[in-house]
Structure 1
Amino acid sequence: MHEGPTAEGAGLAGDRVVAVGSAARILVAATARALRGEDCADLGHSGPVSRFPGAPEPVRRAAATRAAGRVALTVAQAGEVDAARVARWFADQYPRQRYPGVVLGSPHGAAAHLAVALGVPWLPAGFEMSVHWTDGAVDRPGAALEHGAALAAPLLAANADVHLRQVHCPASRGPLSAVTVSLTARWRTLPAAYARFLAERLAPGAPVLLLRDARTWPVLDGGQGHSFQVGCPGSGLDPVDFDPDSHALRQVLRSAGGDDTCWEPPEVSAASGSAEHGVESGFELAARDFSTRQGHPLHRVLVPRPAALSAAVADLYRRWLRGAGKTGDRLVVECGRLLDPWQVVRAGMVPYWCENATRRSVDEAEWWLAGSEPFSSVDVLPEPPGMRSPALAGLPQWLAVAGFGRRRRALDRASARGYPVTSVPTRRATEVLRAQPYDLPVPPALGVTEALTVLRDSATYQGLLVS
């Protein structure tokens, strides 16, 4: 991945702080490239497990943990994180010009596609970090909490404007949760770099769209700016599946090299809070206040589950393409980091984004396809997670998604080879989409008013809340 611009100031550069392969990092990079008329051919690299598809589990786990250790922050570096510098790094990736709007909020592949259709940037309300845990173990969530709390103290002392959410999830991070801790920093207010971006780069009266992941999860919050959750919605499991007597947990821990008899999660007294990709209320209020003062209307889109926004944006793209005289009859089903907004627009395709390769995500894609007007072609890009989990969709289910195509039904072979234990880079999506026929010229940018109309139409059957 290319290094982004580095802002002046103390602390680590943004490209060093933000976790490699994290959603915010990939989506900002993909959106910024699309607005420059570039694809994602330079994004990502094959993970080490891609070289060992037939190797025993211990060999692949060892390769994955070594690779994670090379890119994770050290404990000392965690204290040098400057969240303000990260915000500048995100904002500076976009071309310096005036925009007809901006999309802020939770990371979501469809949000990047929406931003590209509107011709506007997407900026995240938080970012993920991965920090070394030398004496870690996948089956010791209590020890993970202790280590994370120790890391959080100096980081929060230097960054009072963020809340740190620690996630210990062997179901989504596998053996990596034994050697690193995952911290999501969520801004409690609008970062200065974002405020400057809105003031300098938005056209007069340009609207602001705030997308908020509304999913909840049991959270342990000590009230010191650091909170902790065991498991996450993106695992494809439910909170009850992380209880010590869960059969699914036993399968997950065995796959990740853990021991289910050692699993003792911390007691969670509170019922539920927003999951790790939620938006802090202070961030939303600050964005609304600033937008009002600057004369930019703010519209909020509350997303109850990722598939709701994916379906709404796919419907929006179909209408947008047909309004420009195109068929809107070719679909690409993307997954995780396997997306390329510019190549989607260049090919005149409709994008549907799955958050991950879990059965839950793929089920939702199938339901949407079953209720949609048929597509002449369906290309499917399943992202292998690099590990096994009882929540994952099998290749037959992905093939069933491709089967909705009337004339073309394609499941990417490179992604399917070694699924689910291998990994493929973001640029694999670019390679697949580059092979699609061109459908130029690119349609004129979609208007925000029209986009909001389609999103509101989707609210009645997808559950989106648009205000």
Structure 2
Amino acid sequence: MREMQEWVAASGPDVPGPRRIVALDSPARVLLAAASRALRGEDCADLGYQPMLARFPGTPESVRRSAVARAGGRAALPVRQVGQVDAEWVARWMVDHYPPGQYPGVVLGSPSGAAVHLATALGMPWLPAGFEVAVQWPQGAVDNLAGSLAYGAQVAERLLAANPGVRVRQVHDPAARGVLAGSTVSLVLRWRQLPEAYRHFLGERLAPGAPVLLMRDVRTWPVVDQGQGHAFQLGSPGSGLTSADFRILSEPLDQVLRVAGGDPQRWEPPAPLGPQGYAEHGIEPGFEQSLLDWAREADSSLHRVLFAEPEALSAATADVYRGWLRAAGKTGDRCVVECGRLLDPWQVVRAGLVPYWCENATSRRVAGAEWWLAGSDPFSSVDVLPEPPGMRSPALAGLPQWLAVASFGRRRRALDRVAARGYPVTSVPTRHATEVLRAQPYDLPAPAPLDVQDALTGLRASGTAHGLLVC
């Protein structure tokens, strides 16, 4: 913490701190906050995060759209500060989230609420393999693909000049970011190798021989490689649409563009879109290799967990939790289905719940929860926390689908009313998950930390059928 305070004190008005650099809307930011609090034995009651798209509820749609675009621009990084971004300082800020002491291992990799829950059960920190930056795009437009690509290339050039140790993935996705795709450009910075702050953290804060778990999202998507470390991605797996929808201007994308204030007739994807590559939350090969090299030098074991869909890791982690709770003499018969940034790992452990995490509120991700519940031993209660994304999209799950998830509870079937009221454009802060989970009965004491070998065995046993690979 001392190093962070010194860095903040040294920062001037044109030197952005990590809190300004890491995008407010990025999943890794909230997951890191939740993971570090859980490791300190704290809940997420102080996290007032609200998705940018969900702000200004109740106003006319055209007015709200303009207000959200302006708010997103103000929260984004000004172009003049892009050259001052330091990815190493961001890494230091991330590891400084964790309190002093030694840990029995660490979980790194792609952003996933399931990975955070697993890290909490193991008593380990969770760290991302990259971070997202939103940069102001004056005079931008949701439907201006050529302008987005050209502007993003200029921004990426400045970022890479100051940070040769990262690659930049630009993602233009109005289906996931709505009107924000026209007021900002979204850039995911992925470390090419372990940043020095991570290397120091592993060397100084892990117990000798402590295991390392690398969680890899291996979803693919068409990528336009611009060279020099910058790649452009049109759409994303998290949008709920397919890559073909973005190429041919499908009916779902047409609806999305109109909701975001764009003109479908101006939608002209770059040609060619490029071959399939790992999507924005993939991991750079050099990062994995440097982690493997570190593990060999430290005489530690590196375990890689690869998932082709986020629900594969969510289902396997939920099954591991159930076995962990039952081995500790608890029922493991109460389930909570979380969504996006509505999660609280510490309250889940405190209440003895089985957590299933949906990446977002798209129909495909929610269907994953339905399939898992349908194939699981029945739960006595199922509580559902849908995160309203703040925009309307044909790819989103409707309330009937969320109710179907809750219906798997034998005795208690609860769809959170606050989140459901005004869904999908209502505004619900992250701490609302804490408020809901605090109302669950206590089931203390918490089990002893999950053994890493038991976790890996459980992930293999449950995840193989879902396409999860543990190696």
- Which category of TM-score, normalised to the shorter sequence, fits these structures? over 0.9
- Which residue type is aligned with residue 305 of structure 2? V
Counting only pairs closer than 5 Å after superposition, residues 24-423 of structure 1 correspond to structure 2 as: 24-46=28-50, 52-268=56-272, 270-423=274-427
Number of the residue aligned with 2:461? 457
Deviation track 1:244-290 (CA, whole Å, cap 9, x = no partner) reads 44111110101101000000111235321100000000000000001
One-letter code of the match for 1:242? F
Structure 2 CA distance for aligned equivalents of residues 55 and 110 of structure 1: 35
Alignment match of 1:18 (pick from 19, 22, 37): 22
TM (norm. structure 2) is 0.96
SS at match of 1:243: helix
Cα separation, 2, equivalents of 1:317 and 1:6:
37
In the TM superposition, residue 230 of structure 1 has moved relative to its aligned partner by 0.6
Taking the aligned partners of 1:223 and 1:7, their CA distance within structure 2 comes to 36
Quote the offset at 1:51 in angstroms.
Answer: 6.2
1:140-165 residue CA offsets vs partner (Å, 9 max, x unmatched) = 11110111111111110110000000
**Cα shift at 1:34:** 0.4
- TM-aligned CA distance change 1:269 to 1:410, over 3 Å: closer
> TM-score when scaled to structure 1?
0.97
Output the amino acid matched with 1:351: P
2-structure distance, mates of 1:163, 1:407? 50
| CA offsets 1:368-395 (integer angstroms, 9 cap, x no match) | 0000001000000000000011100000
Partner of 2:448, secondary structure, is: coil
TM-superposition CA deviations, 1:110-138 (whole Å, max 9, x none): 00000000000000000001110001000
Distance 1:243 1:356 in 2: 23
Cα distance in 1, alignment partners of residues 92 and 25 from structure 2: 19
**What count of residue pairs does the alignment treat as equivalent?**
466
CA contact (8 A) 1:110 1:353 kept: yes
Deviation at residue 56 of structure 1 after TM alignment: 2.4
* Secondary structure in 2 matching 1:352: strand
CA RMSD of aligned residues (A): 1.6
> Matched residues in 1 for 2:265 and 2:320: separation?
49
Contact 2:325-2:331 at 8 Å conserved across structures: yes
Partner of 1:435: 439
Identity %: 67
CA distance in 2: counterparts of 1:76 and 1:48, whole angstroms:
23
The answer as to whether partners of 2:105 and 2:211 remain within 8 angstroms in 1 is yes
Name stretches of at least 5 consecutive residues in structure 1 with no aligned partner. none
Task: Give the letter aligned to residue 253 of structure 2.
Answer: L
Alpha-carbon distance in 2 for matches of 1:288, 1:114: 21
Distance in 2 (alpha carbons) for counterparts of 1:362 and 1:50: 20
Name stretches of at least 5 consecutive residues in structure 2 with no aligned partner.
Answer: none
User: Offset of 1:424 from its aligned partner?
Assistant: 1.2
